[in-house]
Structure 1
Amino acid sequence: MKKLNYIVFFSMIAMLIGCNANEWEAPSEEPNHHVVYTSEADYDNKVEVGGKISFGDVSRGVTSRTWTIPSGAIMDGSTSSTSSEDVIHVTFNEVGEHKVELAQTFGSSVYVDTVLMGSQIDTAYTVTVLEPVDVSLKAYVIDIDGTETELDLTSGVTNEILAGLYVKYVFDSKGSPENVNYEFEGGDPATMVYDETQILEGTAAETFVQYKRLGEFSTSVVASRDRPFGADTLSLLNLIKVVPSTHPVELTGVYTVGEKVALDFSREINPETVEAATFTIHLVNTDKGIDKSVAVTSASLDADAANIVLLELEDEVIYYDDVATVTYTPGNLTSLDGKEVDAFSDQLISIGGLVNILESSTFDQGIENSLNSNYAAAGWGGSWDNYTAEVTSEKAYSGSKSLKIHMADASANMAMVHVDDSGSGHEVPTEAGKTYLITAMIYIDNYTAWAGFEVDFNATWTNRAELSGGSPQNEWYEASFGIYTCRDGESKVPTLRAFNEYGGGVPLTYYVDDFSIVEVSLRP
């Protein structure tokens, strides 16, 4: 019986094979594919002069190949400019753009990515050979009449300038640095950092530094590049000697520091001449019914900056929604170099220490790192999708990009969300119970009607900037979306909403850049 079962089993297998003999095909060989790697492909095949790049041909189905390297380049282990090896290592000794060519022959047609080509493929790979990073710097002192005098940057030379004057530093470089870092001892600002975008657009070309303190101060600048790595440092020891001046002492800034008011002068102040009674603060908040003068209980110099006078107020704090001013009635206030400070009145006090919370989030506040796909429709449908939005380099307030929005007619509305590459909305780190001011830079292109643009967290549609014929046209301006108070449970992902239905059908095109959301304190 067992023998009979075996016979039946093998007979069935034979029948199955026989029935499908005409349909079965043996597996075919893998198709030919063009695949080439370079060791610096992730960095646009950039290398510093004297540096090396490896090229590897791992294509399937190659029957022959010829690499050809440019003049001045050297292949490891060879004096020839050509090679048939699958991997070559090339040193580049001349600055500029160069081509490494690869001629391949395949046994049959070959896929290049997903496109089927012929059996002969010729490819050229561009290599950018950079000079070593090299910094050059010039400096000019600017007198109060605008006259510029070049400083001597020779090592060991110290240049005398009058207290309170500005120095213009002019930067140039070779080797395409990606970062520039300044340190200005004794200067305002004390440091300055520029990134690659700012270098390319020319923002880093000139830096203005005011010297308010007496003494000798050094300057240094470091320019660097991450890949291929390179850096150059220029250190100028005791470049500047700030000496007493007879020019007027200028009030260069008035702002809050915590609960105090800071008066930022162009020169250091003699601490023995600071008197609280010579200063008066006036405070107005129409919504709260406040219009009063506030006594200054004490005045002293900032421990870290002798050009800053700090005023303490009597039982009062200045809030963001207040309009506060300071007046000085001449007493004995004198600079450290002996110049009396002139009277000033009703100088507006700004709120200091404001921080854009978008800078610590993934929300691309400057539009520099976004694609069109990162601005997606919110899914409302209908007229809310009747707009176009694109990341463009046509205009930019800072950097090189902005968000261009176009609304063609009266039925054009927009509901849009800034999303990451996975489609998830970028969250903003707002906190329940805190209040924020929302702004952005806007450029309106010849619009004569009326529309609204909103940054909304809570579907109340109150954080709106009005766009109209009365708004600045064909220039960048800061638009306020008003005050937003965050509450528990509200979205961290803002909806960018706009409408043109009240514009009489007039087309609207505008550009948006540099979103800002800063925490502010309002008068209770």
Structure 2
Amino acid sequence: MKILKNISLGVIALVIALTSCQKDEVVPYGDFQDIAIFSPYAGKITVEVNQQISIADGSKGFVDRKWTVPFPSYFLNNEDSVLTEETAFVKFMEVGEIPLSIQWQFQDSTGSYMQDSTFMVSVLDTITTDFAVTNIAGNYTEADGKYVVEAGSIVTMTDTSSGSPDTYQWLIDGQSEILETKTVEVQFKKLGTYTVGLVSSRKEPYGRPDSLVVWDFIEVIPSTLPVELTGVSESSNPGFIQLQFSRDMDVIDANDISAFTVKVNGVAGSIKTVQLNKNDASIVEVVMENDIYNSQTAVVSYDASAGSVQSSDFVKLETFTDENVIVYAKNLLNINPDFEDGNYSPFDDLNLIKGGVNLTVVSSGAQSGTNALNIVMDEGSNAQISMNDGFFSLSKDKTYALEFWVKVKNNPGGNGLQMTWRVMPSDGWADNYKQWLGVCCTDQLKADSEGVWQKVQILTDKQPPADWDSAKINIQVSSGAGGQTEIEFDNFKLYEYEVAPAE
């Protein structure tokens, strides 16, 4: 096959090779024809309207060739919709699925016959940015394409641009960062008017960015609904409990401190002050006199009859009781611990010891977010996975907790499903800092727990055997008899396990 003009072999990504069928009475290879089409596109051909592609015919043995494309698209070679040249430069003038066809006439000892091939080219429109509100959680009105919503409402907006963009940048008043997904959810907590802008573009094929700005698109007014407590957690500042509300709160009076109660391990703790977060007025901070250790549990309550806390739109905060506090613990696993990147990094591919094991990331049924790690094992299988990135340091005089969520979806082998979790140096093997989860050690993996996400915490009774500047996690799983075993993991967390000093 000859080397084609204007086509670099280094960029040939699509080859369609068809060898014509020989009739029974023809001597094999006596009349040889070869059909080959070369294109710099991998897979489906996609182009923007008013743009061009090149595609070449490297076939041999034909006596006639004809390219065709429907009007108004045409070949730049001759400004016509029919072409007989080897390399076709095609300009597409309409949007849609456009057929690009080639036909050959061959001659052999039995006579003349035809062969043809058609490529469907996806021609995309130029990008014209637009967006729409698709849902509002809260009370609102709409007029003249703009919205009036009550404080605390969650507004869902999605890109509706023409031209199939694949890159988005939302610029919304009050947001500290640019949002980069096709659909965004924004909770408007503060009274005022908000301008919304969107820049949309396309990487493949390149589409020139377009933008749309709607000034004063959303107006936020006082709410008729109660103030909602949407989250409770300790910040990285020791003893700072952050109460996240559905809208901005009014300044906290010193007399309101007594309306709050915090219990640590069931015992009332001493509150130093209650204040608004200086960067986000929808967060009320309950500041404790003493730190809360992550081995402890804490709950917070508010008595509306003893306090006057209210939102910035003057709605009184209602009583809440014993809301659990998520106590701060710095996660040493800082690369993709929740698999939201869509892959199982920082873990390497499986090391299969025996049987058959399949490791994937699934995008449904996660414990939180979108993705989870899925492992399917044939009966009697055994395999390991180890981190190959995101290593961490450990000190031998400290205790650590390894925490994860597990869901056993199918376990016909019962207690044959076992796991060993090891922590070891990143450049070697160690078997002296581990925990085995199996028949002797946990009820998390038994059949009566199937289909339910459960939180597992291990290693809190052990310490590393040495100071490791660079350490990794190794997981070994094995299955029992009776058929395939399927389990899922989510939200890995390794942190220093803090224990309050003895009094």
Q: Same fold (TM over 0.5)?
A: yes
- State the Cα deviation string for residues 175-229 of structure 1 (Å, max 9, x = none): 3332344344347x976432xxxx6xxxx4xx54322212222223333321112
Give the match for residue 218 of structure 2.
240
Task: Find the counterpart in structure 2 of residue 311 from structure 1.
Answer: 286
1:246 Cα deviation (Å)?
4.4
Letter in 1 for 2:292: I
Counterpart residue number, 2:235: 257
Matching residue of 1:24? none
The superposition leaves residues 223-267 of structure 1 with CA deviations (integer Å, 9 ceiling, x where unpaired) of 332111234433222222222234322222211122211112223
CA distance in 1, matches of 2:344, 2:243: 40
Moved more, 393-402 or 128-137: 393-402
2:87: which partner in 1?
87
Q: Give 1:42-191 correspondences, 5 Å limit.
A: 42=42, 44-57=44-57, 65-103=65-103, 123-133=117-127, 134-143=129-138, 149=140, 151-152=142-143, 154=145, 157=146, 159-169=147-157, 171-186=159-174
> How much does 1:165 deviate?
2.9
TM-score (norm 1): 0.69
2:404 counterpart letter in structure 1? T
Which of structures 1 and 2 has the bigger CA Rg? 1
Size of the alignment, in residue pairs?
436
| Uncovered stretches (5+) of structure 1, i.e. residues with no partner | 1-30, 109-118, 285-290, 419-424
- Quote the Cα distance in structure 2 between the aligned partners of 1:105 and 1:62: 6
Query: 1:13 is matched with which residue?
Result: none
Distance 1:140 1:45 in 2: 35
Matched with 1:449 is 414
Aligned to 2:10: none
Query: What is the root-mean-square deviation of aligned Cα atoms in Å?
Result: 4.1
Describe the shift of the 1:178–1:356 C-alpha distance in structure 2 as closer, same or farther (beyond 3 A): farther
Aligned residue in 1 for 2:180: 193
Structure 2 stretches of 5 or more lacking a match? Answer: 1-31, 425-430
**C-alpha distance in 2, partners of 1:343/1:293?**
18
Deviation at 1:400, TM superposition (A): 8.0
Measure the CA separation in 1 of the matches of 2:172 and 2:133.
14
User: CA separation in 2, counterparts of 1:226 and 1:302?
Assistant: 40
* Distance apart, 1:87 and its partner CA: 2.3
CA 160–278 in structure 1, closer or farther in 2 if over 3 Å, else same: same
2-structure distance, mates of 1:60, 1:399: 51
* Structure-2 change in CA distance of 1:523 and 1:84 (3 Å): farther
Change (3 A) 1:209 1:323: same
Do the aligned residues in 2 keep the contact of 1:186 with 1:212 (CA within 8 Å)? no
Q: Deviations over 1:85-134 (max 9, x none)?
A: 232211122323334334568999xxxxxxxxxx9975544422223344
Counterpart-to-counterpart distance in 1, 2:332 and 2:120: 41
* Residue of structure 2 in register with 1:499 after alignment: 478
Distance 1:276 1:60 in 2: 88
Worse overlay, 248-257 or 174-183: 174-183
How many Å apart are 1:405 and its aligned residue? 0.6
Name the SS of the counterpart of 2:335 in structure 1: helix
1:324 aligns with 2:309: no
Match of 2:394 among 407, 427, 432: 432
Q: C-alpha distance in 2, partners of 1:401/1:100?
A: 42
Query: Equivalent residue for 1:28?
Result: none
**In the superposition, relative to structure 1, how do residues 253 and 38 fare at CA in structure 2: closer, same or farther (>3 Å)?**
same
Q: CA deviation digits over 1:280-305, x for unaligned, max 9?
A: 32112xxxxxx532211122211111
Are the equivalent residues in 1 in contact too, given 2:132–2:159 (CA < 8 A)? Answer: yes
Distance 1:441-1:136 versus aligned 2 partners, 3 A rule: farther
Tell me, in whole angstroms, the C-alpha distance in 1 between the residues paired with 2:497 and 2:362: 36
Query: Judging changes above 3 Å, is the alpha-carbon distance between structure 1 residues 432 and 518 closer, same or farther for their aligned structure 2 residues?
Result: closer
Higher helix share: 1
The change in CA–CA distance for 1:61 and 1:478 in structure 2 (over 3 A counts) is: farther
Q: Which amino acid aligns with 1:273?
A: D
What are the superposed Cα offsets for residues 410-463 of structure 1, whole Å, 9 maximum, x if unpaired?
A: xx1321336xxxxxx633322223846442564603758332345533445417
Could you say which residue in structure 2 is the equivalent of 1:271? 251
Query: What is the rounded CA distance, in whole Å, between the counterparts of 2:315 and 2:33 in structure 1?
Result: 83
Aligned to 2:325: 349
1:417 match: 385
Give the deviation of 1:390 after TM superposition.
Answer: 5.1
Residues of 2 paired with 1:82 and 1:514: CA distance? 57
Tell whether the 8 Å contact from 2:358 to 2:377 is kept in structure 1 after alignment: yes
Whether the 8 Å CA contact 1:76–1:90 is kept in 2: the answer is: yes
Q: Structure 1 CA distance, aligned partners of 2:189 and 2:377?
A: 48
Offset at residue 323 of structure 1 (A): 0.6
1:405 maps to which residue? 376
CA distance in structure 2 between the aligned counterparts of 1:514 and 1:301, rounded to whole angstroms: 33
